[in-house]
Structure 1
Amino acid sequence: MIDTGLFIVPARGGSKRLPGKHMIPLNGATLIERTARCLTESALGFPVLLTTDAPDIRSAGKALGWNAPFLRPAELASDSASTLDTILHALDVHETGAATPDVTVVIQATSPFRPAQAVADAIRLLREDGTLDAVVGMRRNTVPAAYHYPETANLTALNTGLEPVLVPNGTVYAIRTEVLRRDGTLFPERLGAVITDWVGSIDIDTPDDWNIAEALAAKGLTGQVIGWAGTELPWSKA
């Protein structure tokens, strides 16, 4: 059963590659504001906990009605900080004053075209398919796995599979909290996927990513859910 949930939004103040990216307007709305819009449209009603190292992002989150009770400690504020450690720290803070949520949903603000349906479907999968412990947002990599090569001196294909493969795109990570605590990963063995199209899978990490996002936003494009995987539910499209 999933009766309670918690959105955790990790948002750093910026990196050497793209400083201040969360607070730069993208076609009139910052990445933080776009994330808030997506969570509202998902209609799940979970509280939102913001984990950030930046006072301006914290203030922006509070203005949106999010919980932002702390600034991230220094050891979790570097480019090398583990996303998992950041999430577990935020969950620890939350649970000091509230009950443990049934499901923890990690929403990165750097996915500006993530469809709200992807977030809602992730929870729907967990609710309807009791065999799943987590659902992760993914995209289709249409280059068959047989043509994937490691960047090493020995260029040997990783495997012989000829079907398209799925790769995580950062749009959503929904996991049963007890499993997150027990296994210490966002990718447990019993995993499902919500698959979004190329636009919905855009993840802003570099200046080139930002330039692409600006062009897409100027055209008013939005992402779409195109399928599901890892489940035998009858409404699955994948």
Structure 2
Amino acid sequence: MKVAIIPARGGSKRIPRKNIRPFAGKPIIAHSIAAALDSGCFDRVIVSTDDPEIAAVAREWGAETPFVRPPELSDDHTGTNAVVKHALRWLADQGTPASHACCIYATAPFVQAGYLREGLASLLARGRGYAFSVTSFPFPIQRAVRINAEGSVEAIWPENIFRRSQDLEEAFHDAGQFYWGTAEAFLGDEVVFSPASVPVVLPRHLVQDIDTFEDWRRAELMFRVIQEESASGHA
């Protein structure tokens, strides 16, 4: 069995009620649920939450909420892997163990069904523990600068400042959308950011972290443009 697990606790502080806040006409979590359902990859789409209102919204948009996430896994310090492991263990205890799981973030409105399918295909074809979304940095990280204690600028890697950007290695970062993995990898705490993983490369215009209200506004503007381009046939 393949299962989508969408973590969505109720205690978001920087953006209150973040997981069900309206985004482009519907609760933001609904976008993640829709992508999971549309992908055709999953036998079950489960939202892991401690919050009754989030659970009700998740069910309204087609997901299951078969358990209540325990309080010890619902604070600011709980990692994603702990939430996925709890869901996988719950499924096994019910006699319905999963072979593969995909953690999809609740605040990832740009996640697309096609990339979820690509992630599963890569995971199966490459025989790795994980496959997750990444995107490239728009500027060479080797030429990054820092602001030091005196308020001045200094190069983090001075040896790269005068090198041509095309001569520097392209670098990628976690896109913060989804993490496919075998149940064995999740339950065994294999490290995601390691050779145990294969990448699913996303274009930068489909990636936006949403941690602040400024992030939220930027994401809404990006989403609107993408929808307009798609409607006009230019996407």
TM-score of Structure 1 vs Structure 2, range by shorter chain: 0.7 to 0.9
CA distance in 2, matches of 1:219, 1:207: 19
CA distance in 1, matches of 2:226, 2:206: 12
Structure 1 stretches lacking a partner, 5+ long: 225-238
Conserved in 2, the CA contact under 8 Å of 1:12 and 1:53? yes
Q: Distance in 2 between matches of 1:128 and 1:158?
A: 40
2:152 is the counterpart of 1:146? no
Displacement of 1:113: 1.1
Cα contact 1:196–1:223 (8 A) shared by 2: no
Select the residue among 206, 209, 217 that pairs with 1:211.
217
Q: What's the CA shift string for 1:73-97, capped at 9, x where partnerless?
A: 2222222221111221122222211
The equivalent of 1:28 in structure 2 is 25
Deviation, 1:62, is 2.2
SS of structure 1 residue aligned to 2:22: coil
Query: Aligned partner of 1:33: which letter?
Result: A
Equivalences for 1:179-218 in 2 at 5 Å? 179-218=185-224
**Aligned pairs (5 A) from 1:4-19:** 4-19=1-16
Query: Which residue of structure 1 lines up, in the alignment, with residue 61 of structure 2?
Result: 64
Residue by residue, what CA displacement relative to the aligned partner does 1:142-189 show, whole Å, maximum 9, x if unpaired?
322312457776863299681220101111100111122223433453
Alignment partners' CA distance in 1, 2:193 and 2:143: 24
Q: Deviations over 1:119-143 (max 9, x none)?
A: 110001122223x221110110132
Please provide the CA RMSD for this pair: 2.6
State whether residues 198 and 223 of structure 1, in contact with CA within 8 Å, keep that contact through their aligned partners in structure 2.
no
For residue 188 of structure 2, give the secondary structure of its aligned residue in structure 1. Answer: helix
**Which structure has the highest helix share of the two?**
2
Match of 2:233 in 1: none
**Residue 222 of structure 1, CA deviation:** 8.8
CA contact (8 A) 2:11 2:75 kept: no
State TM-score, norm by structure 1. Answer: 0.82
Match of 2:126 in 1: 129
Q: What is the DSSP-based 3-state SS (H/G/I as helix, E as strand, rest coil) of the residue aligned with 1:22?
A: helix
- Summarize the Cα distance change of 1:168–1:62 in structure 2 as closer, same or farther, 3 Å threshold: same
The answer on whether the counterparts of 2:88 and 2:183 sit within 8 Å (CA) in structure 1 is: no
Taking a change above 3 Å as real, the CA distance of residues 60 and 192 of structure 1, as seen in their structure-2 partners, is same
The counterpart of 1:78, out of the listed 43, 60, 75, is 75
Q: Residue 157 of structure 1 corresponds to which residue in structure 2?
A: 157
Residue 26 of structure 2 aligns to a residue whose secondary structure is coil
CA distance in 1, matches of 2:69, 2:155: 41
Superposed counterparts of 1:34-113, under 5 Å:
34-113=31-110
- CA distance 1:177–1:162, change in 2 (3 Å): same
Of 209, 221, 224, which residue of structure 1 is paired with 2:227? 221
Whether contact under 8 Å (1:113, 1:222) holds in the other structure is no
Q: What secondary structure is seen at the aligned counterpart in 1 of 2:88?
A: helix
Structure 2: state its 5+ residue gaps: 161-166, 231-235
Q: Equivalent pairs: percent with the same residue?
A: 26
Alpha-carbon separation, structure 2, partners of 1:61 and 1:16: 20
Structure 1 position 105, deviation (Å): 0.6
TM superposition score normalised by structure 2? 0.82
